[in-house]
A and B are shown apart, each in its own frame.
Chain A
Amino acid sequence: MTTTSESLAPLRTRRRKLPTELSILLVLAGIALIFELLGWIFVGQSFLMNQQRLTIMILQVSVVGIIAVGVTQVIITGGIDLSSGSVVGMTAMIAASFAQSADWARPVYPALVGLPVIIPLFIGLAIGTLAGVINGSLISFTKIPPFIATLGMMVSARGVAKWYTKGQPVSGLTPEFNFIGFGIWPVVIFLGVALIFHVALRYTRYGKFTYAIGANPQAARVSGINIEKHLIKVYAIAGMLAGLAGLVTAARAQTAQAGMGVMYELDAIAAAVIGGTSLAGGQGRITGTVIGTIILGTMTSGFTFLRIDAYYQEIIKGMIIVAAVVADQYRQRKRKKV
């Protein structure tokens, strides 16, 4: 209501500023405890006291986590990015074709084998960024909804990934390239980009503008922000991170396949939303997304640990994602009533 009476404002007590992350962290702890308990009952061992399991768990979700860092920023602007999974496949294929070692029998480009690792890495990031720039430009200049623009990219990028080698996998990658997917590196990369963009969102002008556009695009525009330019930046970053995820995926598998990254975009969106990012825009944090990603990982790992059938896993995962969005809507509505 516009006309809340004047005396109401000063009466409100000062609110501490740590609500969302804390509650998500509690959810994560709760889920872990449930698995721990069920573990002792049904499997006869601890879920948490197993370093190998925990390592694999976070390793499995770090690719989705890298994507989710970008998608979170897109969602904060009030948009959505459905293309990241396909961009993973596309960049994995193209970058891998420049990362083949000289002793491989049938390289994609026989003249371009054994290149320094910096070349495929650069190409991967550039292609991801390009896909993001196209997404952002479509949204900014044609004013089509982000859902449609990135849906188009999702279909086309997957097409590119398949067309590139007519469906053949790209193998025989150099050890230097494979190194970025080796051991704990994917996790380091995930947490590294999370830290970078956590800082960027909280302490830089880029971050302030991202929140402002999501909270109220018209107000942001009147305040002198070039919304079109900024949206292109945000989608470009999301694309670049999807490209990075593609590199990591290919390096981890030591091969690239056109089907890599299918449905990753949805896991990334789920991680962001579970982590408290509002689909209405203007709200969300990378810390929440990191926790959301780990929640997804814990669920997958926990279900496997309990030897629950993969079909049930998907059914339950779907329900949990929906429950998170319902909770988000409920929060929104409650806020409006104030």
Chain B
Amino acid sequence: MVSPQTMRAVRESGAVPNAPYLLEIRNARKEFPGVVALDDVSLRLKRGTVHALMGENGAGKSTLMKIIAGIYVPDSGTVTLRGIDIRLKSPLDALENGIAMIHQELNLMPYMTVAENIWIRREPLNRFGFVDHAKLNRQTEELFRRLNIDIDPDVLVSTLTVAARQMVEIAKAVSYESDVLIMDEPTSALTETEVAHLFAIIRDLRSQGIGIIYITHKMNELYEIADEFSVFRDGRYIGTHASSDVTRDEIIRMMVGREITQMFPKEEVPIGEVVLSVKDLTLDGVFSDISFDVRAGEILGIAGLVGSGRSNVAETLFGVTPASSGTISINGKHVDIASPSVAIQNGMAFITEDRKETGCLLSLDVQENMQLAVLHDQFTRFGFVTQNRLSAICEEMSQKLRVKTPSLDERVENLSGGNQQKVLIGRWLLTNPKILILDEPTRGIDVGAKAEIHKLVTQLARQGVAVIMISSELPEVLGMSDRIMVMHHGRVTGILDRAEADQVKIMDLAAR
């Protein structure tokens, strides 16, 4: 094991050993409390290649990438850079060793100029110790010329488009003389021309001997830009192939190829009338022309990659972000859902994707969290909350859902993720919903609580509730849903029946 300082010295002296791989990761393992994020994962990056990482959400790509970028330190396994074993302790450490990461959410300071952003911490100084802006801009121009980027170094980053900001990030990475570049879904916010420009720059970097790790969900990009790709699934390494060797179907199978276990207690229940009917629902710039029906007792799964607009559709249905156009009908009657309270009045309930951001009142107790959505109508008299009645039904609900908490007075932040989720489910069940929207109902919770939540959803369907369930976990969607709607890029790419749906078909629709 060599310290980063020595490594830096080795690099600066030019005595880099002629290693077969630019970067090699062997048997990396990373555990978080309760989850094994990476298990025995290996990766080899050759000089002058683009190496794509593929896998479903949660497959472990991000964790691996963060290990390479020095954000996480692996629990075990080795990282070998240019033939030398190395231990990266921080992103700065990685950067100084020639590894740069371009984050999905760009890390630029919006109210500083392009040049200032690129050379931050390394500004050229004049002899009085002040920043030499002329030189700063000059060296930025040189850098841009080398990369074929046409941006004025002296403008504020806040005035640039997303694509231009990405170029600035890339230039910044190159300015560190990095030869390992990590790109996390760089094209997700770009137009086609911008993508073409980005690819031109990537090819240029590749020809200069830089190795690029490229994370993507888009199959066509794989063929267009990547030389090799590695597939991950459930935190495990599946295999590495040259992109020209493999067909699209084979890749999808590698990505999803697990058996569906029988942990989903799906029951056949009588399906009733259409309860919710959505027609041409559009939220400008986010999703468009979404149409579907959900019937009483039916579970409609919504699948799609992160960013496909699934959660946005749910938020619009519930009035969090009211639709720009399109219609929503409940029991055949047109309703204008302008706010969540209108949605609640119409018998809807919405368990949001992010427990902490939009669900729990972390600083308050279980009782306050559970009763929040029923304070409007019943349970208040002359503005006073009928606390005794309310406590009784919350107690009953928490027993029914088997919430593990010492008492209803316990702060919600002291509960485990699964129990927090149950409290939120309880909050909405108290409203007696006719339409239940669940966004990632089992994310980040353990297997036991997961199964209980699945069972509960099935029970609700049996009682005639129309359920919409968004999930990134394909086995969950396949196991629970009567029909599955697949979204891609803010559009519905298909609605599959339970009988015809399988993982390959869904991934095919989701990753066009």
Contacts and interface: CB of A to CB of B under 8 A. Distances in A.
A282 B413 CA distance: 13
A9 B404 contact: yes
A3 B35 contact: yes
A333 to B, nearest CB: 13
Contact of B373 (A10, A14, A223): A223
A5 B409 contact: no
A44 interface: no
A331 to B, nearest CB: 11
A162 to B, nearest CB: 37
Contacts of A14: 406-407, 409-410
Contacts of B341: 224-226
Best-buried of B32, B352, B364, B373 by chain A (most CB within 10 Å): B364
Contact of B415 (A9, A206, A335): A9
Contacts of B287: none
Nearest to B403: A9
Contacts of A209: 375
B356 interface: yes
B404 A6 contact: yes
A216 B412 CA distance: 13
B130 interface: no
Given A17-B409, A224-B341, A226-B341, A4 B383 contact: no
Contacts of A5: 33-34, 416, 446
A220 B344 CA distance: 13
Given A221-B340, A223-B427, A9 B405 contact: yes
B72 to A, nearest CB: 15
Interface in A258-281: 278, 280
Contacts of B361: 211-212, 215-216, 219-220, 282
Given A4-B416, A205-B385, A226-B341, A212 B404 contact: no
Best-buried of A13, A203, A205, A206 by chain B (most CB within 10 Å): A205
Interface in B437-451: 444-446, 448-449
Interface in A177-231: 203-206, 208-209, 211-212, 215-216, 218-226
Interface residues of B, number: 53
Contacts, number: 136
A203 B364 contact: no
B321 to A, nearest CB: 11
A41 interface: no
B358 interface: yes
A194 to B, nearest CB: 18
Interface string B331-373: 0000000011101100000101001111111111000100111
B435 to A, nearest CB: 14
Interface string A326-338: 0000000001001
A221 B320 contact: yes
Interface in A1-21: 1-6, 8-10, 12-15, 17
A211 B375 contact: no
Given A3-B34, A3-B35, A218-B358, A208 B385 contact: yes
Interface in B403-441: 404-407, 409-410, 413-419, 427
Contacts of A249: none
A110 to B, nearest CB: 44
Contacts of B410: 12, 14-15
Contacts of A9: 404-406, 414-416, 419
Given A6-B446, A209-B375, A224-B373, A218 B357 contact: yes
A283 interface: yes
B438 to A, nearest CB: 13
B318 interface: yes
B380 interface: yes
Contacts of A283: 363
A218 B355 CA distance: 11
Given A4-B416, A6-B418, A338-B414, A208 B375 contact: yes
B207 interface: no
A335 B413 contact: yes
B128 interface: no
A209 B371 CA distance: 11
A278 B364 CA distance: 13
B387 interface: yes
B376 interface: yes
Contacts of B417: 2-4
A47 B343 CA distance: 60
Interface string A278-294: 10101100000000000
A5 B364 CA distance: 21
Contacts of A280: 363
A219 B372 CA distance: 9
Given A211-B368, A282-B361, A3 B340 contact: no
27 contacts: A1-B33, A2-B417, A3-B34, A3-B416, A4-B417, A6-B418, A6-B446, A9-B404, A10-B404, A12-B414, A205-B384, A208-B371, A212-B361, A215-B362, A215-B363, A216-B357, A216-B358, A216-B360, A222-B318, A222-B352, A222-B359, A223-B373, A224-B341, A224-B373, A278-B363, A280-B363, A282-B363
Given A224-B339, A224-B340, 7 more contacts: A4-B34, A6-B449, A9-B405, A9-B416, A211-B364, A222-B350, A338-B413
Interface of A: 1-6, 8-10, 12-15, 17, 203-206, 208-209, 211-212, 215-216, 218-226, 278, 280, 282-283, 335, 338
Interface of B: 32-35, 318, 320, 339-341, 343-344, 350, 352, 355-364, 368, 371-373, 375-376, 380, 383-385, 387, 404-407, 409-410, 413-419, 427, 444-446, 448-449
The 8 lowest CB-CB distance pairs between A and B, nearest first, are A215-B361, A224-B341, A3-B34, A282-B363, A218-B358, A2-B444, A4-B416, A224-B344
